[in-house]
Structure 1
Amino acid sequence: MSTCSKCLPGYFLKTGSPNECVLCGDTAKGGIDGCAECSGTTGSLKCTKCKPNYNPSGEETNLTCTKVCEDETACGGTAGSCGAIVVDDDGSMKHYCSYCGESTKFPIDGICKGDSAKGSNTCDKGVCTSCTTGYFLYMGGCYKADQPPGNLMCTAAAGGICTTPTGQYFKVPGAASTDQSVLGCREPPRHDGKW
Protein backbone atom coordinates (compact mmCIF):
# COMPACT_ATOMS: atom_id res chain seq x y z
CA MET A 1 0.00 0.00 0.00
CA SER A 2 1.49 3.36 -0.97
CA THR A 3 -1.00 5.66 0.77
CA CYS A 4 -2.67 6.01 4.17
CA SER A 5 -6.25 4.85 4.56
CA LYS A 6 -6.55 4.89 8.37
CA CYS A 7 -4.73 6.83 11.12
CA LEU A 8 -3.75 6.24 14.75
CA PRO A 9 -5.62 8.01 17.59
CA GLY A 10 -4.62 11.68 17.77
CA TYR A 11 -4.40 11.93 13.96
CA PHE A 12 -6.86 12.43 11.13
CA LEU A 13 -6.75 11.38 7.49
CA LYS A 14 -6.03 14.27 5.16
CA THR A 15 -7.09 13.18 1.71
CA GLY A 16 -4.94 14.12 -1.22
CA SER A 17 -2.28 12.70 -3.44
CA PRO A 18 -1.01 10.93 -1.42
CA ASN A 19 -3.24 10.74 1.67
CA GLU A 20 -1.49 11.59 4.94
CA CYS A 21 -2.10 11.26 8.67
CA VAL A 22 -2.02 14.67 10.39
CA LEU A 23 -2.06 15.53 14.11
CA CYS A 24 -5.55 16.61 15.22
CA GLY A 25 -4.16 19.93 16.52
CA ASP A 26 -2.04 20.81 13.46
CA THR A 27 -3.85 23.94 12.26
CA ALA A 28 -1.38 24.47 9.41
CA LYS A 29 -2.64 21.24 7.83
CA GLY A 30 -6.36 21.58 8.57
CA GLY A 31 -6.41 20.41 12.20
CA ILE A 32 -8.29 22.04 15.07
CA ASP A 33 -6.46 24.32 17.50
CA GLY A 34 -6.05 22.71 20.93
CA CYS A 35 -7.40 19.34 19.80
CA ALA A 36 -5.73 16.14 21.07
CA GLU A 37 -8.08 13.54 19.55
CA CYS A 38 -10.51 13.84 16.64
CA SER A 39 -12.77 11.96 14.26
CA GLY A 40 -13.53 12.42 10.59
CA THR A 41 -11.36 13.58 7.72
CA THR A 42 -10.57 16.84 5.97
CA GLY A 43 -13.78 18.86 5.71
CA SER A 44 -15.69 16.81 8.30
CA LEU A 45 -13.16 16.92 11.15
CA LYS A 46 -14.54 17.04 14.71
CA CYS A 47 -12.58 17.29 17.96
CA THR A 48 -13.39 14.65 20.60
CA LYS A 49 -10.74 15.51 23.23
CA CYS A 50 -8.84 18.72 24.03
CA LYS A 51 -5.14 19.06 24.91
CA PRO A 52 -4.14 19.85 28.52
CA ASN A 53 -4.63 23.55 29.38
CA TYR A 54 -7.52 23.81 26.90
CA ASN A 55 -11.12 24.02 28.08
CA PRO A 56 -13.59 21.91 26.09
CA SER A 57 -16.99 23.32 25.16
CA GLY A 58 -19.79 22.13 22.89
CA GLU A 59 -20.93 18.57 22.25
CA GLU A 60 -18.75 15.61 23.29
CA THR A 61 -18.36 14.55 19.66
CA ASN A 62 -17.65 18.08 18.36
CA LEU A 63 -15.65 20.07 20.93
CA THR A 64 -14.23 23.56 20.72
CA CYS A 65 -10.97 23.86 22.69
CA THR A 66 -10.06 27.19 24.29
CA LYS A 67 -6.55 27.75 25.69
CA VAL A 68 -6.49 28.73 29.36
CA CYS A 69 -3.82 29.79 31.80
CA GLU A 70 -3.16 27.93 35.03
CA ASP A 71 -5.11 30.78 36.64
CA GLU A 72 -7.65 32.26 34.21
CA THR A 73 -7.55 35.69 35.90
CA ALA A 74 -3.76 35.83 36.33
CA CYS A 75 -2.95 37.53 33.00
CA GLY A 76 -5.72 40.11 32.90
CA GLY A 77 -8.43 37.99 31.31
CA THR A 78 -8.80 37.95 27.55
CA ALA A 79 -6.64 41.10 27.15
CA GLY A 80 -3.57 39.23 28.44
CA SER A 81 -1.73 36.23 27.09
CA CYS A 82 -0.73 32.98 28.75
CA GLY A 83 1.82 32.01 26.11
CA ALA A 84 4.67 31.15 28.49
CA ILE A 85 4.76 27.36 28.50
CA VAL A 86 6.67 25.68 31.33
CA VAL A 87 7.30 21.93 31.30
CA ASP A 88 6.72 20.44 34.74
CA ASP A 89 8.84 17.67 36.34
CA ASP A 90 6.38 15.04 35.08
CA GLY A 91 6.53 16.38 31.50
CA SER A 92 3.15 18.14 31.59
CA MET A 93 2.87 21.64 30.14
CA LYS A 94 1.65 24.56 32.23
CA HIS A 95 0.69 27.95 30.75
CA TYR A 96 1.79 31.13 32.51
CA CYS A 97 1.54 34.83 31.69
CA SER A 98 3.71 36.18 28.88
CA TYR A 99 1.82 39.48 28.59
CA CYS A 100 -0.43 41.25 31.08
CA GLY A 101 -3.71 42.80 29.97
CA GLU A 102 -3.21 45.78 32.30
CA SER A 103 -0.25 47.99 31.36
CA THR A 104 0.58 48.58 35.04
CA LYS A 105 1.02 44.86 35.78
CA PHE A 106 3.90 42.61 34.75
CA PRO A 107 4.57 38.84 34.49
CA ILE A 108 6.62 37.99 37.59
CA ASP A 109 6.94 34.25 38.23
CA GLY A 110 4.22 33.64 35.65
CA ILE A 111 1.52 35.81 37.24
CA CYS A 112 0.69 39.46 36.49
CA LYS A 113 1.68 41.58 39.49
CA GLY A 114 1.88 45.31 40.23
CA ASP A 115 4.88 47.63 40.67
CA SER A 116 5.63 46.52 44.23
CA ALA A 117 6.22 42.91 43.10
CA LYS A 118 8.46 43.68 40.13
CA GLY A 119 11.33 44.80 42.40
CA SER A 120 14.45 45.66 40.36
CA ASN A 121 13.20 43.84 37.26
CA THR A 122 12.70 46.16 34.27
CA CYS A 123 9.10 45.91 33.09
CA ASP A 124 6.77 48.23 31.16
CA LYS A 125 3.44 48.06 29.32
CA GLY A 126 2.53 44.55 30.44
CA VAL A 127 5.89 42.80 29.79
CA CYS A 128 9.37 42.56 31.29
CA THR A 129 12.41 43.47 29.20
CA SER A 130 15.25 42.55 31.59
CA CYS A 131 15.57 40.86 34.95
CA THR A 132 17.64 41.39 38.08
CA THR A 133 19.97 39.01 39.96
CA GLY A 134 18.31 35.73 40.91
CA TYR A 135 15.75 36.12 38.10
CA PHE A 136 15.89 35.29 34.39
CA LEU A 137 13.83 36.46 31.40
CA TYR A 138 11.50 33.88 29.84
CA MET A 139 8.74 34.64 27.31
CA GLY A 140 8.12 38.22 28.43
CA GLY A 141 8.32 37.60 32.18
CA CYS A 142 10.92 37.46 34.96
CA TYR A 143 11.18 34.17 36.85
CA LYS A 144 13.00 33.55 40.13
CA ALA A 145 15.40 30.62 39.72
CA ASP A 146 14.99 29.22 43.24
CA GLN A 147 11.20 28.86 43.36
CA PRO A 148 8.39 27.45 41.18
CA PRO A 149 7.67 27.78 38.35
CA GLY A 150 11.11 29.29 37.55
CA ASN A 151 13.04 26.40 39.11
CA LEU A 152 11.36 24.01 36.66
CA MET A 153 13.41 25.72 33.91
CA CYS A 154 16.50 27.06 35.65
CA THR A 155 18.04 26.47 39.10
CA ALA A 156 20.50 29.40 39.15
CA ALA A 157 20.55 32.87 37.59
CA ALA A 158 23.07 35.72 37.71
CA GLY A 159 22.71 39.21 36.29
CA GLY A 160 19.26 38.40 34.90
CA ILE A 161 20.53 35.40 32.92
CA CYS A 162 19.88 31.70 33.54
CA THR A 163 23.21 30.04 34.34
CA THR A 164 22.03 26.51 35.24
CA PRO A 165 19.09 25.20 33.20
CA THR A 166 17.22 22.03 34.17
CA GLY A 167 17.28 18.86 32.03
CA GLN A 168 14.42 19.80 29.70
CA TYR A 169 15.82 23.31 29.00
CA PHE A 170 19.08 24.71 27.64
CA LYS A 171 20.98 28.01 27.84
CA VAL A 172 20.85 30.38 24.90
CA PRO A 173 24.49 31.09 23.96
CA GLY A 174 25.47 34.76 24.24
CA ALA A 175 22.17 35.85 25.84
CA ALA A 176 22.18 39.18 27.71
CA SER A 177 19.87 40.20 30.57
CA THR A 178 17.58 41.75 27.93
CA ASP A 179 17.30 38.40 26.10
CA GLN A 180 15.52 35.18 26.91
CA SER A 181 18.41 33.09 28.25
CA VAL A 182 16.75 29.67 28.45
CA LEU A 183 14.69 27.67 25.95
CA GLY A 184 12.72 24.46 26.15
CA CYS A 185 14.04 21.60 24.05
CA ARG A 186 11.05 21.79 21.65
CA GLU A 187 10.36 25.51 21.87
CA PRO A 188 10.48 27.57 18.68
CA PRO A 189 12.48 30.80 18.73
CA ARG A 190 10.60 34.09 18.90
CA HIS A 191 10.02 35.67 15.46
CA ASP A 192 7.33 38.33 15.70
CA GLY A 193 8.26 40.19 18.88
CA LYS A 194 5.34 38.64 20.82
CA TRP A 195 4.82 35.41 22.73
Structure 2
Amino acid sequence: MFYSTVLILCELVLVTSKECSNSENCAAGDNCLDIKVSNTPKEVCTKCAATHVPINGACQAKDGQSAVCTPPGVADGTCQSCKGENYLYEGGCYTACPQGAPNPETNTCDGVPAPDCNIPNCEACSEDKKTCTTCQPGHLLTPEKNACLGACPAGSYAAGQACTPCDPSCAECSGAGASRCTACPAGKMLRYADEGRPADGTCAEGCVEGPECEACGLTIGGTKYCSKCAADRWAPRNGVCADTAAARSPFCTSASGGACTQCAGGYFLQEGGCYQTTRLPGKGVCAALTGDGKCQRCANGLAAVSGTCPLCDSTCATCTEPGQPGKCSACPPGRYLDAGNACRPCTEASGSIQGVAGCVSCAPPYPPSGAVTCYVKRGDSAGGSVNRGGLSTGAIAGIAVAVVVVVGGLVGFLCWWFLCRGKA
Protein backbone atom coordinates (compact mmCIF):
# COMPACT_ATOMS: atom_id res chain seq x y z
CA MET A 1 0.00 0.00 0.00
CA PHE A 2 0.97 3.63 -0.54
CA TYR A 3 0.97 4.48 3.15
CA SER A 4 3.10 1.45 3.99
CA THR A 5 5.62 2.62 1.39
CA VAL A 6 5.63 6.05 2.93
CA LEU A 7 6.31 4.50 6.34
CA ILE A 8 9.27 2.52 5.02
CA LEU A 9 10.76 5.55 3.29
CA CYS A 10 10.29 7.84 6.23
CA GLU A 11 11.78 5.40 8.77
CA LEU A 12 9.88 7.00 11.63
CA VAL A 13 11.43 6.27 15.01
CA LEU A 14 9.78 7.04 18.37
CA VAL A 15 12.35 8.52 20.76
CA THR A 16 10.92 10.04 23.92
CA SER A 17 8.11 12.17 25.34
CA LYS A 18 8.35 15.70 26.68
CA GLU A 19 6.49 19.00 26.80
CA CYS A 20 5.96 20.66 23.42
CA SER A 21 7.63 24.01 22.85
CA ASN A 22 6.58 24.76 19.29
CA SER A 23 2.80 24.83 19.71
CA GLU A 24 1.04 27.38 21.89
CA ASN A 25 -2.13 25.27 21.90
CA CYS A 26 -0.49 22.04 23.07
CA ALA A 27 -1.70 21.19 26.58
CA ALA A 28 0.82 21.72 29.35
CA GLY A 29 2.53 18.63 30.70
CA ASP A 30 3.99 15.51 29.11
CA ASN A 31 1.98 15.82 25.89
CA CYS A 32 4.67 16.01 23.19
CA LEU A 33 6.47 13.20 21.37
CA ASP A 34 9.86 13.47 19.66
CA ILE A 35 9.96 11.41 16.46
CA LYS A 36 12.43 11.20 13.59
CA VAL A 37 11.36 11.46 9.96
CA SER A 38 14.28 10.39 7.73
CA ASN A 39 16.59 11.16 10.66
CA THR A 40 15.08 14.64 11.01
CA PRO A 41 13.70 15.30 14.53
CA LYS A 42 10.08 16.41 14.70
CA GLU A 43 7.76 17.26 17.58
CA VAL A 44 4.14 16.08 17.57
CA CYS A 45 1.55 17.11 20.16
CA THR A 46 -0.60 14.32 21.59
CA LYS A 47 -3.02 16.48 23.58
CA CYS A 48 -4.09 20.05 22.85
CA ALA A 49 -6.06 22.68 24.71
CA ALA A 50 -9.77 21.81 24.98
CA THR A 51 -10.62 23.98 21.94
CA HIS A 52 -8.09 22.23 19.66
CA VAL A 53 -7.23 18.70 18.49
CA PRO A 54 -3.96 17.15 17.19
CA ILE A 55 -3.90 16.93 13.39
CA ASN A 56 -0.65 15.57 11.90
CA GLY A 57 1.06 16.43 15.17
CA ALA A 58 -0.03 20.07 15.32
CA CYS A 59 -2.95 21.55 17.25
CA GLN A 60 -5.81 22.74 15.05
CA ALA A 61 -9.11 24.37 16.09
CA LYS A 62 -11.49 21.44 16.60
CA ASP A 63 -14.48 23.27 15.09
CA GLY A 64 -12.80 23.09 11.68
CA GLN A 65 -11.77 19.42 11.94
CA SER A 66 -15.12 17.63 12.29
CA ALA A 67 -14.55 15.88 8.94
CA VAL A 68 -11.25 14.46 10.20
CA CYS A 69 -11.43 14.01 13.98
CA THR A 70 -14.14 12.82 16.38
CA PRO A 71 -13.37 14.03 19.93
CA PRO A 72 -14.55 12.07 23.00
CA GLY A 73 -17.84 12.98 24.71
CA VAL A 74 -16.00 15.27 27.11
CA ALA A 75 -13.81 17.75 25.22
CA ASP A 76 -10.20 17.16 26.29
CA GLY A 77 -8.06 18.20 23.33
CA THR A 78 -7.71 14.77 21.71
CA CYS A 79 -9.37 12.67 19.00
CA GLN A 80 -11.28 9.52 19.88
CA SER A 81 -11.45 8.33 16.27
CA CYS A 82 -10.54 9.56 12.79
CA LYS A 83 -12.43 9.83 9.52
CA GLY A 84 -11.63 9.59 5.81
CA GLU A 85 -8.00 8.75 4.98
CA ASN A 86 -6.78 9.71 8.43
CA TYR A 87 -5.46 7.39 11.12
CA LEU A 88 -5.56 7.54 14.91
CA TYR A 89 -2.20 7.62 16.69
CA GLU A 90 -1.54 8.79 20.27
CA GLY A 91 -4.73 10.87 20.49
CA GLY A 92 -4.34 12.58 17.10
CA CYS A 93 -5.29 12.04 13.46
CA TYR A 94 -2.57 11.60 10.80
CA THR A 95 -2.59 11.23 7.02
CA ALA A 96 0.35 8.82 7.48
CA CYS A 97 0.97 6.75 10.60
CA PRO A 98 3.99 7.94 12.62
CA GLN A 99 4.31 4.34 13.86
CA GLY A 100 2.76 1.11 12.61
CA ALA A 101 0.75 0.50 9.43
CA PRO A 102 -2.47 2.32 8.50
CA ASN A 103 -5.69 0.28 8.67
CA PRO A 104 -8.36 1.83 6.39
CA GLU A 105 -11.11 -0.30 7.96
CA THR A 106 -10.60 1.05 11.48
CA ASN A 107 -8.77 4.31 10.66
CA THR A 108 -6.06 3.34 13.14
CA CYS A 109 -2.35 2.63 13.03
CA ASP A 110 -1.90 -1.16 13.34
CA GLY A 111 1.08 -2.58 15.16
CA VAL A 112 0.99 0.20 17.74
CA PRO A 113 0.48 -0.92 21.36
CA ALA A 114 -3.11 -0.28 22.48
CA PRO A 115 -3.31 3.16 24.11
CA ASP A 116 -4.77 3.66 27.53
CA CYS A 117 -8.50 4.40 27.65
CA ASN A 118 -9.09 7.83 26.18
CA ILE A 119 -10.66 9.23 29.36
CA PRO A 120 -9.44 12.60 30.65
CA ASN A 121 -8.01 12.55 34.20
CA CYS A 122 -7.93 8.73 34.33
CA GLU A 123 -4.98 7.29 36.25
CA ALA A 124 -5.50 3.58 35.53
CA CYS A 125 -7.55 1.82 32.85
CA SER A 126 -9.21 -1.58 32.67
CA GLU A 127 -7.41 -4.44 30.92
CA ASP A 128 -9.49 -4.02 27.77
CA LYS A 129 -8.64 -0.27 27.73
CA LYS A 130 -12.34 0.59 27.45
CA THR A 131 -13.07 1.95 30.93
CA CYS A 132 -11.28 3.65 33.80
CA THR A 133 -10.63 1.95 37.12
CA THR A 134 -8.95 4.80 39.05
CA CYS A 135 -9.10 8.56 38.53
CA GLN A 136 -6.37 11.08 39.21
CA PRO A 137 -6.48 12.85 42.61
CA GLY A 138 -9.26 15.41 42.80
CA HIS A 139 -11.51 13.53 40.38
CA LEU A 140 -14.30 11.00 40.91
CA LEU A 141 -15.06 7.92 38.81
CA THR A 142 -18.60 7.80 37.41
CA PRO A 143 -20.72 4.65 37.94
CA GLU A 144 -20.32 3.65 34.27
CA LYS A 145 -16.52 4.08 34.66
CA ASN A 146 -16.41 6.23 31.52
CA ALA A 147 -15.47 9.62 33.00
CA CYS A 148 -13.42 11.21 35.78
CA LEU A 149 -15.20 14.36 36.96
CA GLY A 150 -14.64 17.03 39.58
CA ALA A 151 -18.04 16.26 41.11
CA CYS A 152 -20.43 13.33 40.84
CA PRO A 153 -23.03 13.66 38.06
CA ALA A 154 -26.74 13.87 38.81
CA GLY A 155 -28.13 10.54 39.95
CA SER A 156 -25.05 9.60 41.99
CA TYR A 157 -23.18 10.56 45.17
CA ALA A 158 -19.53 10.47 46.23
CA ALA A 159 -18.34 7.39 48.11
CA GLY A 160 -14.56 7.50 48.48
CA GLN A 161 -12.94 8.18 45.10
CA ALA A 162 -15.94 7.00 43.07
CA CYS A 163 -19.57 7.89 42.48
CA THR A 164 -22.34 5.50 43.54
CA PRO A 165 -25.84 5.56 41.98
CA CYS A 166 -28.65 7.10 44.03
CA ASP A 167 -31.71 5.15 45.09
CA PRO A 168 -33.97 4.73 42.02
CA SER A 169 -36.60 7.00 43.60
CA CYS A 170 -34.20 10.00 43.60
CA ALA A 171 -33.06 12.25 40.76
CA GLU A 172 -30.21 13.53 42.95
CA CYS A 173 -29.09 12.50 46.42
CA SER A 174 -26.63 13.01 49.26
CA GLY A 175 -26.17 9.34 50.12
CA ALA A 176 -27.59 5.83 50.00
CA GLY A 177 -31.29 5.08 50.47
CA ALA A 178 -34.66 6.52 49.53
CA SER A 179 -34.53 9.02 52.42
CA ARG A 180 -31.42 10.79 51.09
CA CYS A 181 -32.95 12.41 47.99
CA THR A 182 -32.05 16.05 47.28
CA ALA A 183 -34.08 16.29 44.04
CA CYS A 184 -36.87 14.18 42.56
CA PRO A 185 -37.89 13.00 39.08
CA ALA A 186 -40.61 14.89 37.22
CA GLY A 187 -44.00 14.27 38.81
CA LYS A 188 -42.57 13.82 42.32
CA MET A 189 -42.01 16.42 45.06
CA LEU A 190 -39.34 16.37 47.75
CA ARG A 191 -40.56 15.87 51.32
CA TYR A 192 -37.75 17.02 53.61
CA ALA A 193 -36.88 14.81 56.58
CA ASP A 194 -36.45 17.94 58.73
CA GLU A 195 -38.68 20.81 57.57
CA GLY A 196 -36.71 23.22 59.76
CA ARG A 197 -33.41 22.31 58.11
CA PRO A 198 -34.12 21.37 54.47
CA ALA A 199 -31.34 19.10 53.25
CA ASP A 200 -32.60 15.74 52.01
CA GLY A 201 -35.71 13.60 52.24
CA THR A 202 -38.00 11.31 50.28
CA CYS A 203 -39.76 11.74 46.95
CA ALA A 204 -43.56 11.73 47.16
CA GLU A 205 -46.40 12.18 44.68
CA GLY A 206 -46.97 15.69 43.37
CA CYS A 207 -50.09 17.75 44.00
CA VAL A 208 -53.47 15.99 43.85
CA GLU A 209 -56.68 18.00 43.97
CA GLY A 210 -58.86 17.02 46.93
CA PRO A 211 -60.03 18.08 50.41
CA GLU A 212 -56.93 20.24 51.07
CA CYS A 213 -55.99 21.58 47.62
CA GLU A 214 -58.64 22.92 45.28
CA ALA A 215 -56.34 23.57 42.30
CA CYS A 216 -52.91 22.21 41.32
CA GLY A 217 -52.21 25.11 38.98
CA LEU A 218 -48.43 25.47 39.31
CA THR A 219 -45.97 23.19 37.49
CA ILE A 220 -42.23 23.40 38.20
CA GLY A 221 -39.83 20.93 36.63
CA GLY A 222 -42.65 18.63 35.55
CA THR A 223 -44.15 18.41 39.06
CA LYS A 224 -47.50 19.92 40.04
CA TYR A 225 -47.88 22.08 43.15
CA CYS A 226 -50.96 23.57 44.79
CA SER A 227 -51.99 27.07 43.68
CA LYS A 228 -55.28 27.35 45.61
CA CYS A 229 -56.26 25.67 48.88
CA ALA A 230 -59.79 24.53 49.74
CA ALA A 231 -59.98 26.50 53.04
CA ASP A 232 -60.10 30.31 52.84
CA ARG A 233 -57.55 30.97 55.57
CA TRP A 234 -55.08 28.47 54.12
CA ALA A 235 -52.62 29.11 51.29
CA PRO A 236 -49.84 27.17 49.53
CA ARG A 237 -46.47 27.31 51.27
CA ASN A 238 -43.68 25.76 49.21
CA GLY A 239 -46.40 24.11 47.13
CA VAL A 240 -48.35 22.52 50.01
CA CYS A 241 -51.39 23.98 51.80
CA ALA A 242 -50.67 25.50 55.22
CA ASP A 243 -52.59 27.57 57.77
CA THR A 244 -51.82 31.26 57.25
CA ALA A 245 -52.93 32.02 60.82
CA ALA A 246 -50.29 29.77 62.41
CA ALA A 247 -48.25 32.05 64.66
CA ARG A 248 -45.15 29.86 64.61
CA SER A 249 -44.60 30.10 60.87
CA PRO A 250 -45.93 33.29 59.28
CA PHE A 251 -45.39 33.14 55.54
CA CYS A 252 -48.37 34.93 53.99
CA THR A 253 -49.32 38.45 55.08
CA SER A 254 -52.42 38.69 52.89
CA ALA A 255 -54.58 35.76 51.79
CA SER A 256 -57.89 35.48 49.99
CA GLY A 257 -59.92 32.51 48.79
CA GLY A 258 -57.28 29.89 49.59
CA ALA A 259 -54.42 31.74 47.91
CA CYS A 260 -51.81 34.27 49.00
CA THR A 261 -51.59 37.78 47.53
CA GLN A 262 -48.65 39.04 49.62
CA CYS A 263 -45.79 37.00 51.11
CA ALA A 264 -43.79 37.65 54.26
CA GLY A 265 -40.06 38.34 54.26
CA GLY A 266 -37.98 35.33 53.23
CA TYR A 267 -40.65 34.19 50.74
CA PHE A 268 -41.62 35.15 47.18
CA LEU A 269 -45.05 35.00 45.56
CA GLN A 270 -45.64 32.52 42.73
CA GLU A 271 -49.07 31.44 41.42
CA GLY A 272 -50.96 32.03 44.66
CA GLY A 273 -48.33 30.48 46.94
CA CYS A 274 -45.30 31.62 48.94
CA TYR A 275 -41.95 29.95 48.30
CA GLN A 276 -38.47 30.00 49.86
CA THR A 277 -35.25 30.24 47.86
CA THR A 278 -33.43 27.91 50.28
CA ARG A 279 -35.41 24.80 49.38
CA LEU A 280 -37.21 23.09 46.53
CA PRO A 281 -39.19 23.88 44.54
CA GLY A 282 -38.58 27.60 45.20
CA LYS A 283 -34.80 27.59 44.73
CA GLY A 284 -35.26 26.30 41.20
CA VAL A 285 -37.29 29.41 40.36
CA CYS A 286 -35.88 32.35 42.35
CA ALA A 287 -32.28 33.03 43.40
CA ALA A 288 -32.60 36.36 45.26
CA LEU A 289 -35.48 38.15 47.04
CA THR A 290 -36.57 41.72 47.58
CA GLY A 291 -37.53 42.81 51.08
CA ASP A 292 -41.26 42.82 50.33
CA GLY A 293 -41.90 39.19 49.41
CA LYS A 294 -41.05 39.30 45.73
CA CYS A 295 -38.35 37.79 43.55
CA GLN A 296 -35.49 40.03 42.47
CA ARG A 297 -33.40 37.57 40.45
CA CYS A 298 -34.72 34.40 38.84
CA ALA A 299 -32.81 31.10 39.04
CA ASN A 300 -34.03 29.84 35.66
CA GLY A 301 -32.21 32.41 33.52
CA LEU A 302 -35.23 34.67 32.94
CA ALA A 303 -35.85 38.21 34.16
CA ALA A 304 -38.38 38.81 36.92
CA VAL A 305 -41.54 40.67 35.90
CA SER A 306 -43.04 42.77 38.72
CA GLY A 307 -41.35 40.52 41.27
CA THR A 308 -42.55 37.26 39.69
CA CYS A 309 -40.45 34.82 37.67
CA PRO A 310 -41.78 33.55 34.34
CA LEU A 311 -41.48 29.76 34.20
CA CYS A 312 -39.44 27.74 31.70
CA ASP A 313 -40.95 24.76 29.93
CA SER A 314 -41.13 21.83 32.34
CA THR A 315 -38.37 20.00 30.44
CA CYS A 316 -35.82 22.82 30.99
CA ALA A 317 -33.74 23.69 34.06
CA THR A 318 -32.90 27.13 32.66
CA CYS A 319 -34.09 28.79 29.47
CA THR A 320 -33.97 31.87 27.27
CA GLU A 321 -37.74 32.18 26.75
CA PRO A 322 -40.60 31.12 29.05
CA GLY A 323 -42.74 28.08 28.29
CA GLN A 324 -40.90 27.04 25.12
CA PRO A 325 -39.46 23.49 24.92
CA GLY A 326 -36.93 24.52 22.26
CA LYS A 327 -35.51 27.43 24.29
CA CYS A 328 -33.67 25.53 27.02
CA SER A 329 -30.15 26.54 28.04
CA ALA A 330 -29.59 23.79 30.64
CA CYS A 331 -31.36 20.54 31.44
CA PRO A 332 -32.57 18.84 34.63
CA PRO A 333 -31.21 15.42 35.65
CA GLY A 334 -31.98 12.68 33.14
CA ARG A 335 -32.00 14.96 30.08
CA TYR A 336 -29.46 16.37 27.61
CA LEU A 337 -29.46 19.53 25.49
CA ASP A 338 -29.84 18.68 21.81
CA ALA A 339 -28.86 20.70 18.74
CA GLY A 340 -32.24 22.46 18.75
CA ASN A 341 -31.89 23.63 22.39
CA ALA A 342 -34.50 21.16 23.63
CA CYS A 343 -33.91 18.91 26.64
CA ARG A 344 -34.38 15.28 25.61
CA PRO A 345 -34.45 12.24 27.92
CA CYS A 346 -31.11 10.41 28.01
CA THR A 347 -32.88 7.36 26.59
CA GLU A 348 -34.22 9.14 23.49
CA ALA A 349 -32.62 10.06 20.18
CA SER A 350 -32.64 13.52 18.62
CA GLY A 351 -31.35 14.07 15.10
CA SER A 352 -27.92 12.44 14.86
CA ILE A 353 -27.69 11.99 18.66
CA GLN A 354 -28.56 8.55 20.00
CA GLY A 355 -30.04 7.81 23.41
CA VAL A 356 -28.86 5.01 25.72
CA ALA A 357 -31.34 2.53 27.18
CA GLY A 358 -31.72 2.78 30.96
CA CYS A 359 -29.64 5.95 31.19
CA VAL A 360 -30.66 8.43 33.92
CA SER A 361 -27.72 10.88 33.78
CA CYS A 362 -25.87 11.89 30.62
CA ALA A 363 -24.11 14.50 28.51
CA PRO A 364 -24.51 15.09 24.76
CA PRO A 365 -21.67 13.98 22.47
CA TYR A 366 -19.32 16.51 20.88
CA PRO A 367 -19.67 17.10 18.01
CA PRO A 368 -23.44 16.38 18.25
CA SER A 369 -23.34 12.94 16.62
CA GLY A 370 -23.41 9.46 18.13
CA ALA A 371 -24.54 8.16 21.50
CA VAL A 372 -24.84 10.34 24.58
CA THR A 373 -22.18 9.87 27.26
CA CYS A 374 -24.14 7.98 29.91
CA TYR A 375 -22.81 8.50 33.43
CA VAL A 376 -25.44 6.55 35.38
CA LYS A 377 -27.75 3.73 34.30
CA ARG A 378 -30.75 2.53 36.24
CA GLY A 379 -29.77 -0.73 37.90
CA ASP A 380 -26.07 0.23 38.25
CA SER A 381 -26.21 -0.04 42.04
CA ALA A 382 -25.24 -3.25 43.82
CA GLY A 383 -25.75 -5.61 40.89
CA GLY A 384 -29.52 -5.93 40.92
CA SER A 385 -32.83 -4.27 41.53
CA VAL A 386 -33.98 -3.65 45.09
CA ASN A 387 -37.35 -4.76 46.41
CA ARG A 388 -39.38 -2.81 48.96
CA GLY A 389 -37.80 -4.70 51.82
CA GLY A 390 -34.35 -3.62 50.72
CA LEU A 391 -32.98 -6.98 49.53
CA SER A 392 -31.28 -7.13 46.16
CA THR A 393 -32.40 -9.71 43.61
CA GLY A 394 -29.05 -11.48 44.04
CA ALA A 395 -29.59 -11.81 47.78
CA ILE A 396 -33.12 -13.10 47.28
CA ALA A 397 -31.86 -15.70 44.79
CA GLY A 398 -29.18 -16.83 47.23
CA ILE A 399 -31.70 -17.24 50.03
CA ALA A 400 -34.02 -19.20 47.72
CA VAL A 401 -31.22 -21.61 46.77
CA ALA A 402 -30.32 -22.11 50.44
CA VAL A 403 -33.96 -22.87 51.31
CA VAL A 404 -34.21 -25.42 48.49
CA VAL A 405 -31.04 -27.17 49.67
CA VAL A 406 -32.22 -27.32 53.29
CA VAL A 407 -35.71 -28.55 52.37
CA GLY A 408 -34.27 -31.11 49.96
CA GLY A 409 -31.92 -32.43 52.61
CA LEU A 410 -34.72 -32.68 55.15
CA VAL A 411 -36.99 -34.57 52.75
CA GLY A 412 -34.17 -36.99 51.90
CA PHE A 413 -33.45 -37.65 55.56
CA LEU A 414 -37.12 -38.31 56.34
CA CYS A 415 -37.46 -40.71 53.40
CA TRP A 416 -34.37 -42.61 54.52
CA TRP A 417 -35.59 -42.69 58.11
CA PHE A 418 -39.05 -44.06 57.34
CA LEU A 419 -37.83 -46.56 54.73
CA CYS A 420 -35.14 -47.90 57.00
CA ARG A 421 -37.46 -48.06 60.02
CA GLY A 422 -40.12 -49.76 57.91
CA LYS A 423 -37.74 -52.51 56.83
CA ALA A 424 -36.60 -52.96 60.41
TM-score normalized by the length of structure 1: 0.49
> Which one has a larger percent strand, Structure 1 or Structure 2?
1
Larger Rg belongs to: 2
Q: Which has the higher contact order (CA 8 A, sep 6+)?
A: 1
TM-score normalized by the length of structure 2: 0.24
> Which one has a larger percent helix, Structure 1 or Structure 2?
2
